[in-house]
A and B are shown apart, each in its own frame.
Chain A
Amino acid sequence: METIGIYKNIPLTIDPSLATVFAVIGWLIVLCLVLYTVYKWTGIRRKEVKK
C-alpha cells in the first residue's frame, strides 16, 4: 500500500498491483463484448456483400 496524499487527515492510499488486476479485468470484460459485436457485424457485412 502507498499513500498518495492526505485530505482532511484521511490518507488516500493505493495498492498498485491489486488496482492493476481490477482495472485489467474491467477492461477485458468490456473489450470482449466490443470485439464479439464487431466480429458478428463483420460476418454479416461480408455475407451481405457476397449476395
Chain B
Amino acid sequence: MRRMGRAGRRTRDRLIEGDGAPWLALLVATRLLATAIAAVLLVLDPADDWLLALTPYGALSATAIALAPRLRASPSAWAFDFTTVLAFVAASGDWRSPFYLLWLTTLALPATHLPLGPARWLAVGSAAAYLGVAVGGGPAPGYLRPLTSETLVIHLTLPIVLVAGLAYARSVLLALQEERTRRERLAIETERRRIAWELHDSAKQRLHAAHLLVSSLQRRVAPDLEPTVQRASVELESAAADMDTSLAELRSPLEGRPLHEALGARARELSTDGGPQITVHGLAPPLPPLVAAHVYRIGSEALTNALRHAEATTVEVTLAQTDGTLRLTVTDDGRGMSDHPRPGASGILAMQSRAASIGARLTFDVPSSHTGTRVLVEIPAAAPKGASA
C-alpha cells in the first residue's frame, strides 16, 4: 500500500513536472529546433552576423536542461533563461526576432511546474515583458502599419496561450492522478472489508464450531487422551483469537501504517486553506492493532473537535513515550473547553468509552499557555490486547 503510494507519487512527478523521458525529449527537441531556426534566419540575413554568436546558448541550455533535473525545477534557472533570451530579442533590434521561438520555449518549464494561480501571472507577465522589449527596441507599435500590429498581437498572445495551456494540462493531470490514488485507496479499503467479512462470516464460525466440538470431549475420553483433547481445544481457541487480531487489523483505519503516519495523514485531510495550522510530532511504537485503532480514533475525534468548535489557529498533535506509557496530546489555542459541551456530548463520550476499552486514561485540561484545550490520552504499555473494538 505504502509502496504503491510512493510509486504513484513518482509517476505523478514524471508526468507533470516534466521529468518523463518523452516529455523531456519533446522539450529539448523544441528548443533545438527553435535554435536551428534562429541560426538559419540569421545566416540568411547577413546584416546581423554577430548575433549568430548567440545561437550556441540555445543548444547549450537544451543540453543543461536534459542533463540536470535540479535545473529543471529551479525558479532562478527559469528566470535566468527567460531574461537571457529576452535580452537576445532586445539585442536583435526588432521584436520580430529570430530568437522569438527560443524565447517561447523558456516558458515551458515554469508553466508546467507552477500551480494555476502563479501561472496566470506568468502568462500576463511574459506578454507584458515582451511588449516592453518591443516598445523599447522598436520598431515601436505606433509607427507600424496595421498588418505588423497584428503580428505583434500574435507575438504577445502566443506566450499567454502557451502558458495557459501547459498550466491547465498540468492541473488536469494532477487532479486525475489524485482521483486515481483516491480510487485505489477506496478499492483497497473495500477489498479489506470484504476479506474481513468473509473471514468473520465463514472461517471464524467454523473455528468456533470446531472448538465447541473438541471442547465437548473434555472429561469424556479415556484419561490418556485427555491431554490431547485439552491441547486441541486450547489451540482452536488461540486460532480464533489470532483471527480476531487479523480481523481487527483488516478493518483498522490505520491500514497498516504506524499511528503517527495515520494521524499525520488525517491532519492533512482535515487541514484547509485559511483553517488552523495542524502539526503532528513524535513517533508511536508498534501497538496492538485494536489499541492503535482506538487511539487513532480518539486522536482524530479530538482533532475534529478542535477544528469544529474551538476556533483555534494552531492545533498540535504530539506523540511521546516515557516509562512505557505512550502519551498522545492534541492541543489547540482556541476558546477552550468552558464553552464546549461538557462530558455528555457524544463525541467526548465516544472518546471516553474508547479510552476505557483499551485501559487508557483520557483527560481534558487547559494547556500551559492558558488558552485553548489539551486532550491527553495516556496508554499504558500493557494495554489489554483482547479489548473489544
Please indicate whether A and B come from the same complex rather than being unrelated chains: no
User: Which residues of A are in contact with B by a Cβ distance under 8 Å?
Assistant: none
B contact residues vs A (CB 8 Å cutoff): none
